[in-house]
Amino acid sequence: MALLPILCYPDPRLHTVAKPVAQVDARIQSLVADMLQTMYEAQGIGLAATQVDVHERLIVIDVSEDRDSPMVLINPRVLWVSEQTHVNEEGCLSVPGIYDSVVRHDAIRIEAMDEKGQRREVQAQGLLAVCIQHEMDHLLGKVFVEYLSPLKRNRIKTKLVKAKREERA
Ligand code: K1U
Ligand code: ZN
């Protein structure tokens, strides 16, 4: 297993639209193991392949308290969303230190494959539903700050570019 570098906003690669995974093989299983290790190490509850510069439709998630219930979603597809929405506080490993409110569907149902290539359906609500919607946005090249006002987004961009510059100096 290996820790993978996480792309940081405003890296343009975060806006790449991911392609479907063609085959769930040893390469994908190894990527899943690396992404899980990277997500746990970074103390995140989710990670999309886009964030580690792999542009294939693959997500890992673990919203459990004990961090022992990994979920792997390959080629996820939305089947249903609730009409009801909710404002949630979100963060992102690609936008370190920034948390803000985003409106999401309360509940969703998706289909995806797991790491064995088995089709599964997931009905989600609460934090799991929020996290799946956030990670599926990553696969479309969308970062949560794009839901914020241009003013807020530009402030975040400036702050992170400055932080990166200082880190390099
Ligand atoms: O996509 C990511 O970078 C992972 C992200 C997932 C996420 C968190 C919160 C709401 C929606 C999606 C994170 O794990 S950010 C860090 C984190 O652990 C966290 C932040 C806020 C609430 C709960 C967890
Ligand atoms: Zn994110």
Distance of CA 119 from the midpoint of ligand 2 (Å):
24
Sorting pLDDT into bands at 50, 70 and 90, what band is 139?
A: very high
Strand 119-125 versus strand 107-113 pairing type: antiparallel
> What local confidence, expressed as pLDDT, does residue 77 receive?
98
pLDDT (tens digit per residue) in 62-98: 999 999 999 999 999 999 999 999 999 999 999 999 9
pLDDT (tens digit per residue) in 5-46: 999 999 999 999 999 999 999 999 999 999 999 999 999 999
Question: For residue 142, which of 8, 6, 15 has the smallest C-alpha distance?
Answer: 15
> What local confidence, expressed as pLDDT, does residue 169 receive?
84
Catalytic residue check, 89: no
Distance of CA 14 from the midpoint of ligand 2 (Å):
10
State the ligand closest to the CA atom of 145.
Answer: 2
The residue whose C-alpha atom lies closest to atom 17 belonging to ligand 1 is 44
Rounded to 5°, the CA angle 115-120-121 comes to: 140
C-alpha to C-alpha distance for 103 and 90, rounded to whole angstroms: 10
Burial grade of 124 (CB within 10 A; 0-12, 13-18, 19 or more)? buried
The pTM (predicted TM-score) of the whole model is 0.97
Backbone angles phi, psi at 82, to 5 degrees: -70, 150
CB 1: neighbour CB atoms within 10 A?
10
Of 1 and 86, the structure prediction assigns the larger pLDDT to 86
The residue whose C-alpha atom lies closest to atom 16 belonging to ligand 1 is 44
> What local confidence, expressed as pLDDT, does residue 99 receive?
98
Asked whether residue 1 carries a pLDDT value surpassing 90, the answer given is no
> What local confidence, expressed as pLDDT, does residue 65 receive?
97
pLDDT (tens digit per residue) in 118-128: 999 999 999 99
Active-site residue (options: 56, 90, 115, 135): 135
Q: If you ran DSSP here, which 8-state letter would residue 49 be given?
A: G
